[in-house]
Each structure stands twice: as structure tokens, then as C-alpha cells.
Amino acid sequence: MEEYQGNFRKTKCPVVLLTKLLSTLIIYITTTIQTSQAQPNYNFPPYNVSEKSLEPRYVKMYDKIQVELNITCNHFSGNVGKIYMVSHDESVVKVQQEPVDIICYHEKINIVSFMIKGEFLGKTKVKLKFFGKSNNKLDEKDLDLKVIVKNRRLTNIFIIIVASFMIILNFGFGCKIEINVIKEILKKPIPPLIGILCQFILMPILGLTISQAFQMNNDIGFGLLVLATSPGGGGSNVWTLMLGGDLNLSLCMTLFSKIAALFMMPLWLYAVSRLYISETASVPYKHIAMGLLALLVPCLCGVVLRKWKPRVAEFIEKIIKPVAVIFVIFVITMGSITNVYIYLMWARKWYIVPSALLITYLGYALGYAFARITKQGHTRSLTIAIETGIQDTGVAIVLLQGTFNEPGGDIAAALPMTAALFTPFPLMILLTILHIHICWKNGKCERFGGPKNQKDNSVDIDSLQQNEKSLPLNTTQLSSFNV
């Protein structure tokens, strides 16, 4: 250090002085780190062992990694010992290497490696066992290993495409919105309030009941709780449109649900999350706010377009239902492809599928029943049921992955993803029955999803009125129409 201080005194330029000071610090820190890494972790008479790889270690599913150890020989007498590696849980990690002999002849430092393969998501340990020349056990050491999802790029592409679809669909919904109907709903917001009660009182209680019935006091049980307390998803608007529900009411309920989630999710998580985990769950306010913007902005643009260019808005109304069908097909197919690991989890955690089915399908049934009890009509009850059963799985997944480190977030998110996969099936069955009924009633299917629209009916009425005008009617005949 005295040599460096002498050089600094001779240097008058502050820039050069600062550069030399920084270079000195970098050299010092680098030397310190190298020295600390070179220190052996395990000291034995015949050899010393230091870990070359730093913890924590991650391996992707179905990939292989090498765990390398530096061997420092203290005696050059040939074979001085062996090292064994054993996996605590071979369903998560398998060790692909046989025991390694430690040979010390001329080189002081040798490198030995063990091949490890990731089998499935999870956390486990591998045990290193050190033996001497006479096969006497010297020591053992546990290394933590985590197996994570192999490819997230396809999942990210899937999320981007789904978000783009939802923006387009919300824009189309805005073209169909009737402002007068929205005003009436806001003046008497009984149906939206019923939906909020179902969403944030009925569903969390149902989620708690199911998790306790299956004894899911773990991260997957917490995933069920997060799903049950999440707001309504954008898919509810799509299915409301396709099943002939009240689209205006559905959009209002989705909006109210996302606003209420800013307060109700933290309340529920604070009250009962300790039954499942010790970590502190953070509500993804940013993600919920982005969901609000993704709903409001496109819808308002659609409303403006309907006022400004009615014909363009009418054209968009005609194509919005086929776009919704394409969206549903895409979500089901690509959602299944991008989350293949979930199918393997179903075999390992048998309660994932039953609990996902119960939370979703009972949500539909109880939402409809509660709406009928409160004297709502069939159309509104159907809308409330769809809004109750379809949760915003995106909010649930973001919260879970933010609460747990990999792979805990993916494991906990398996239940919301499973629920998302099974959500459309009863609605698809209902849509098929509705379509068959319409075909049977009309004799043939004019359109997918319903009979002729109001525009077609208005054309028929206009033609009838023109025919009536062409008929010669006297005053006696006209007076016969008066009541």
C-alpha cells in the first residue's frame, strides 16, 4: 500500500488519480474473491475439496448439468479416496455419474465432476460422501438443487398473444355497448353488487373449504386461495357474448370486480394466508391496474367509434363473435401446449384436478343459484354465474410467482393453470346445446351462436310496412285497427 500511496502523491491529475484508485480497488477485490474461493470447503488428510460451482444450483427440466469439485492432493500416492453423490429424491433429480476415484500422482489440483439430470419441478438435495483410501468414511455434505421450467419463451409469446386478443375483443365489446343500459345499471347496481358478493365472499369461502377438505396446507393450497380471491377474468365477457348473456352487465361486473380486488385480495390474504405459507404475499396491484386499463381504454375507443362511424362499428359487431371463437380455440390449444409440466403434476398431486374442477364448476352453479334467489332473470343470472366462475388466472399466477422463488411459484401456479384449462368445457357444452336448440327451433342454423339478429328482423319489418302502404285501405278498414 505504501508503494501505491507514493504513486498517488506523484500524480497531480485527478482523473488519473481516480483511475488508479479504482483499478487498485478492483485488483484488491478480485484477489480477495479468488482467495476466498480457493479455500477448501472440506479438509481431509489425503486431499482437500472445494466447490467450483456456486450455490444455489438450478437445473432445467430434462436438462443435465455438471457439479464440479476441485481436488487438492496432500499425498501423491495414487488412489487416495472416493467421492459418492446420492440424490435425496430421484423423482426430482437423478445423478448420472458413478462414484469418482481421487487419483493423486503428479498434479496437485484435479477437477472431478458429477452429471445431474433434472427430472421434474421441485427442490431437493444431493449428498456428497467422502471416503478415504481404505474406504473409511471421512465426511458428507448436502447440496441444494432446484429444478425449474425449461422454456419460458413460448409461455411469454402465449401471454402476449392472449393480451392482444383481449384488447381487440374489448374494443369490439365497446362497439356493442349501449350507454343508456350502462347508465341504468349504474343507477341501480344490484346485479353488479351480487356479482361482487359472489366473487369476494362466496368464492374465497369455497376455496378455503375445498383446500381444507383435501388437506392442502401447502403452496398448492395457497394457490387455490389466491385463485378464489382473484377478480373476474376477461374471458367472462367473451363467454357472455357467445352464450347470449347481458354483455353490458358483464363489462360492468368485470370493472367493479377489478376495482374491488385492490382491497379484497389483501384483506383475504392477510387473514388466512398463514394457514398455508410463512412468506408474505404481495398483491400485484400493477397487474390489476393494467387489467383495468386493458378493459377500459379499448371499450371507450369502441364507444367513440360507434358514435363517430356507426357503419364501421356495425361491421366490427358482426366479426367480434367469430374472433371470440378463434380466441377460445387458441387459448385451449396453446394453453395446453405451453404448460405441459402441469399434466405431470396431476399424476404427482392427485388433488389438483378435483379441486380445480370444484372451485370453477361450483362457482358457476352457486353464482347462478344465488342470482336466482335474489330474483334476477335468467339472462342476468347466467351473466353473474359466468363472472363468478371465471377468475383472472393472470393475477393469481403473477402473485404466486412473485411470492415464491423458482420453482415454488410454478408449482403453486399449477392449480390456477389447471382451473384455466377446465374453465371452458361446461360453457362449450352449454353453447353446443344452445346452438342445437336454435337449429331445431328455426329448422336451420342461420348463424353460429344464435338466430337472426335484430338488423335482419328490422329489414323484414320494413318490407312488410312497404307492402302495407301499397294496399288500398278505406277509413272503415283503418278504424278497425284502433283499440
pLDDT tens string 165-215: 888 888 888 888 888 888 888 888 899 999 999 999 999 999 999 999 998
- Which of 90-104, 304-318, 322-336, 368-382 is predicted most confidently? 368-382
d(CA 414, CA 350): 12
Confidence at residue 110, expressed as pLDDT on a 0 to 100 scale: 67
CA distance 61 to 342: 13
Least reliable range by pLDDT among 39-53, 76-90, 278-292, 360-374: 39-53
What band does 460 get if pLDDT is binned at 50, 70 and 90?
very low
pLDDT value at position 115?
84
CB 324 within 8 A of CB 171: no
Indicate whether 138 pLDDT > 80: no
Share of the chain above pLDDT 90, in %: 19
The confidence score (pLDDT) of residue 33 equals 40
Kindly report, residue by residue over 235-287, the tens digit of the pLDDT: 899 999 889 899 999 989 988 898 888 889 888 988 888 888 766 667 777 87
Q: How many angstroms separate the CA atoms of 204 and 260, rounded?
A: 14
Residue 305: pLDDT above 60? yes
Output the average pLDDT for the chain: 77
Average pLDDT over residues 329-348: 83
Contact 147, 60 (CB under 8 A): yes
pLDDT in tens, 223-240: 999 999 999 888 899 999
Q: Has residue 131 got a pLDDT over 60?
A: yes
Q: For 399-422, write each residue's pLDDT tens digit.
A: 888 788 788 888 888 999 999 989
Q: For residue 126, what are the β-bridge partners? A: 87, 143
328 has a pLDDT exceeding 60: yes
CA distance 390 to 239: 10
pLDDT (average), residues 461-478: 38
- The answer, yes or no, to whether residue 132 has pLDDT greater than 70, is yes
Confidence class of residue 34 from pLDDT cuts 50, 70 and 90? very low
Identify the residue whose cell numbers are 469439485: 69
Is a pLDDT exceeding 70 seen at residue 303? Answer: yes
Terminal alpha carbon distance of the chain: 112
> Taking Cα atoms as reference points, which of 253, 251, 430 lies closest to residue 328?
430
d(CA 240, CA 391): 14
C-alpha cell at 317: 359487431
- Average pLDDT over every residue of 114-123: 85
By the 8 A CB rule, do 141 and 272 touch?
no
Q: Give the number of other CB atoms < 10 A from CB of residue 149.
A: 16
Least confident segment among 1-5, 125-129, 347-351: 1-5
What pLDDT score was predicted for residue 321?
84
Q: What cell was used for 372?
A: 336466482
Measured CA to CA, the distance from residue 62 to residue 469 in angstroms comes to 78
Cell numbers for 94: 437423478
391, 420, 361: which is closest to 258 by C-alpha? 391
Q: Using 50, 70 and 90 to split pLDDT, how confident is the model at 336?
A: confident
Average pLDDT over residues 76-87: 74
pLDDT one-digit tens code per residue, 147-164: 888 777 777 788 888 888
Q: Which residue has the higher pLDDT, 106 or 467?
A: 106
The pLDDT assigned to 162 comes to 85
Assess whether pLDDT exceeds 80 at residue 471.
Answer: no
**Domains defined for the chain, CATH in brackets:** 43-148 (2.60.40.10), 153-446 (1.20.1530.20)
Give the pLDDT score at 178.
83
How far apart, in whole angstroms, are the C-alpha atoms of residue 228 and residue 101? 54
Contact indicator for 416, 223 with CB cutoff of 8 Å: yes
Contact between 346 and 353 under an 8 Å Cβ cutoff? The reply is yes
User: How far is Cα 170 from Cα 241, in angstroms, rounded to an integer?
Assistant: 11
Q: Are 101 and 95 in contact (CB under 8 A)?
A: no
> Using one digit for the tens of pLDDT, what is the confidence trace for 427-447?
999 988 888 877 887 765 544
Q: Residue 348: which pLDDT band, with cuts at 50, 70 and 90? A: confident
Q: Which residues contact 439 (CB under 8 A, 6 or more apart)?
A: 445
Confidence of residue 97 (pLDDT cuts 50, 70, 90): low
* Percent residues over pLDDT 70 in the chain: 76
Burial of 333 (0-12, 13-18, 19+ CB in 10 A): exposed
Note the pLDDT of residue 335.
79
